Structure 1
Amino acid sequence: MQRIFSGIQPTGVPQLGNYLGAIRNWVRLQNDHECIFSLVDMHAITMFQDPATLREQTRAQTAVLLASGIDPKAHILFNQSQVSAHARLGWIFTCVVRLGWLNRMTQFKDKAGKDRENHSAGLYTYPALMAADILAYKATRVPVGDDQRQHLELANDIAQKFNHDYGTDFFPQIEAVIPPVSARVMSLRDGTKKMSKSDPSEQSRIEMTDDADAIALKLRRARTDPEPLPSEIAGLEGRAEARNLVGIYAALAGLSAEEVLARHGGEGFGPFKAALTEVVVDTVAPIAAETRRLLADTAHLDAMLRDGARRAAALADPIVAEAEALVGFIR
């Protein structure tokens, strides 16, 4: 059984795009992989985080993952900062990675923008830590979306350079696991932008802690256009908001966009939003209710994360100790 590593930043409240793009796929991967899932709180602080908020959101993210179906007994779920192997191997990889490689990372350019001189060095070098997250466990498969493909390629470059520099084949090649085709979930306020948990407007997203009333209100207010839904895909051309809502419906109902339009083509957005609300509530409301139940006992969540960290360290510490010996560190 192949080993998978995947991490998610515990910032903000997980939203529907996170669920459809990552979390739902993580749940499926548990069936035929050994899974290591991490709340990557060390990555989170590449941008300043209020300490109390970071703790709160780490617990909330943990609760959402559990409520969505992550099994912390059959697999491993932990927060990154509790396992020192990540930082130890991350430093070695920071010394292996070349500046030219980091300069090509488009995500840093996107996040830093024109103000790059005022951002943390961690935001620039974090791809080395991401490589360490994976290779501290010698994980061979990583589920990735489009925005992380470049970083996975860099992780393989780092592993290959380490192996070459130290005359070994210690670190394995990492394979990308491309999730099943699902909706690219966009903002409910602007269909040209991704749904994001960092968007200032809560009306732009369905959060995985929203109850049925909140979901219904957000979908009623979702931006649309005056035309009815088309009966064929071609009719969605140039209609970003309509395409987004149809895509969400399709992803949650297990249908193609064509099948959704066959059912609802010709309808106005009032009836369609009512049908969409039912589909979204069926998925999100049970997860939200279980999340609230879990968050009522934060001591239990903390204990579960500690247990996950203990089991993660048992895997990672011997691997990283051997990498340190290869580098020449006296242990």
Structure 2
Amino acid sequence: MENQSLQKKVVLTCAQPTGKLHLGNYIGAVRQWVKMQEDYECYFGIVDMHAITMPYVPAELRKNTYMCAAQYLACGLDPDKCSMFIQSNVRGHAELTWILACLCPIGQLERMTQFKDKARKLSEGAGGASIGSGLLFYPVLMAADILIYNADLVPVGEDQKQHMELARDLAQKFNNTYSPTFNLPEAYIPKTGARIMSLQNPDAKMSKSDKNALGSLYMIDTPDVLRKKIMSAVTDSGSEVKFAEEKSGISNLISIMSSVTDKSVSDIESEFAGKQYGAFKKAVADAVIAKFDPIRIKYEELMTDKAYLESVLKRGAAAAQRRADKMMSKVYRKAGYVDAISSK
């Protein structure tokens, strides 16, 4: 009983390998993961299988996967404290997806908000690209990612809550159809303060898909690039450094300053009372560079050591595989399969 009380809860969180990570990714996700690895049994997946549900270039996918791993490590993820792995390197994700798909009503998938939005964008795009069924089944694969590790907590953004509900539904359906097997995972939505918005359009989230290259601050941008982007950030015609709804541009810069310095909004307002926007932007740039430049330097070192990156990912995949095998042996047996997978 004592061992059970001391057992850490299992956290599973995954992200697609999108290449460069921006400030919003760092504040809303990676910084939280670094804290969580101290208190939980953490599995961090780079989900390359999800990345092929939309048109992509294979060589870029491979490059982005290494870039993603190097940035996570540079931010503080520790292979001695967590398991970082590539989704396709762990057997069972696709297999569990098929079993769960057979329990999932297709109408439930067709109602998913993200599916409808992405399908619309594809159909409206150049040439009216066809919609692959992988896009429809994306949430089932996400459910399999979570349930194969029997995760207790899943850090997700607000836009993934609908997918989390599906994961819980499918876990319950499997448990009811066969016998209790899966935990019902809980969404963990960390309190990260205000959202980080585009520097060029402060009414839209900071995003890699922003067509304006000056809109996003990437962790591996050089100091000169970071400074240029911040100094050219959209503000308003006023001059007061104050957080207010009608001052979305300057409010976004205050949020950025608060995020990278841990100073409160009110403290920042007091510090820059009576000062002009130019002086404040310079201070924001200094703070962002101080936060990101050590990460960039570490990232560049890691990217020159592919053998080390692969050793970390191999070690993480081995740990993930051991846990996945235990779950899949139960799933296969309960689903009626003969010769369940071994955990050799």
Instruction: Give, as a single letter, the amino acid of the residue that structure 2 aligns with 1:317.
Output: D
Name the CA distance, whole Å, in 2 between partners of 1:174 and 1:139: 6
Tell me what 1:24 maps to. 31
Q: What stretches of structure 2 of length at least 5 have no aligned partner?
A: 1-7, 124-128, 340-344
Select which of 49, 59, 63 maps to 2:66: 59
Structure 1 contact 12–198 (Cα < 8 Å) conserved: no
Could you tell me how far 1:230 is from its partner in structure 2? Answer: 4.4
Name the CA distance, whole Å, in 2 between partners of 1:257 and 1:229: 14
**SS in structure 2 opposite 1:96?**
coil
Tell me what 2:312 maps to. 304
Tell me what 1:102 maps to. 109
**SS in structure 1 opposite 2:44?**
strand
Instruction: Give, as a single letter, the amino acid of the residue that structure 2 aligns with 1:200.
Output: K
Tell me what 1:178 maps to. 189
CA, structure 1 residues 266+91, in 2 after alignment: closer, same or farther (shift >3 Å)?
A: farther
Residue 121 (structure 1) aligned with residue 114 (structure 2): no
Tell me what 1:246 maps to. 254
Select which of 204, 216, 219 maps to 1:208: 219
**SS in structure 2 opposite 1:6?**
strand
Could you tell me how far 1:115 is from its partner in structure 2? Answer: 4.3
Question: What TM-score do you get using the length of structure 1 for normalisation?
Answer: 0.95
Structure 2 contact 148–324 (Cα < 8 Å) conserved: yes
Cα root mean square deviation, aligned: 1.5
Could you tell me how far 1:21 is from its partner in structure 2? Answer: 0.6
Could you tell me how far 1:107 is from its partner in structure 2? Answer: 1.3
Q: What stretches of structure 1 of length at least 5 have no aligned partner?
A: none
**SS in structure 2 opposite 1:36?**
strand
Comparing 35-44 and 312-321, the one that deviates more: 312-321
Instruction: Give, as a single letter, the amino acid of the residue that structure 1 aligns with 2:139.
Output: P
CA, structure 1 residues 266+95, in 2 after alignment: closer, same or farther (shift >3 Å)?
A: farther
The correspondence of residues 40-189 of structure 1 with structure 2, limited to 5 A, is 40-113=47-120, 115=122, 118-166=130-178, 168-189=179-200
Residue 35 (structure 1) aligned with residue 46 (structure 2): no
Instruction: Give, as a single letter, the amino acid of the residue that structure 2 aligns with 1:316.
Output: A
Structure 1 contact 228–265 (Cα < 8 Å) conserved: no
Structure 2 contact 19–65 (Cα < 8 Å) conserved: no
Name the CA distance, whole Å, in 2 between partners of 1:191 and 1:25: 24
Aligned length, in residue pairs? 327
Name the CA distance, whole Å, in 2 between partners of 1:108 and 1:229: 42
Tell me what 1:260 maps to. 268
Could you tell me how far 1:133 is from its partner in structure 2? Answer: 0.5
Structure 1 contact 227–268 (Cα < 8 Å) conserved: no
CA, structure 1 residues 304+115, in 2 after alignment: closer, same or farther (shift >3 Å)?
A: closer
**SS in structure 1 opposite 2:187?**
strand
Write the deviation string for residues 119-165 of structure 1: whole angstroms up to 9, x where unpaired. Answer: 22111111111011111010110111111111111100110011111
Could you tell me how far 1:266 is from its partner in structure 2? Answer: 3.6
Could you tell me how far 1:323 is from its partner in structure 2? Answer: 0.5
- Percent sequence identity is 42
Could you tell me how far 1:224 is from its partner in structure 2? Answer: 1.6
Residue 237 (structure 1) aligned with residue 240 (structure 2): no
Write the deviation string for residues 292-329 of structure 1: whole angstroms up to 9, x where unpaired. Answer: 00001112212221221111101101211210211111
Structure 2 contact 42–82 (Cα < 8 Å) conserved: yes
Instruction: Give, as a single letter, the amino acid of the residue that structure 1 aligns with 2:55.
Output: F
Tell me what 1:323 maps to. 331
**SS in structure 2 opposite 1:320?**
helix
The correspondence of residues 279-290 of structure 1 with structure 2, limited to 5 A, is 279-290=287-298
Q: Segments of 4+ in structure 1 off by > 4 A? A: 114-117
Name the CA distance, whole Å, in 2 between partners of 1:265 and 1:8: 40
Tell me what 2:342 maps to. none
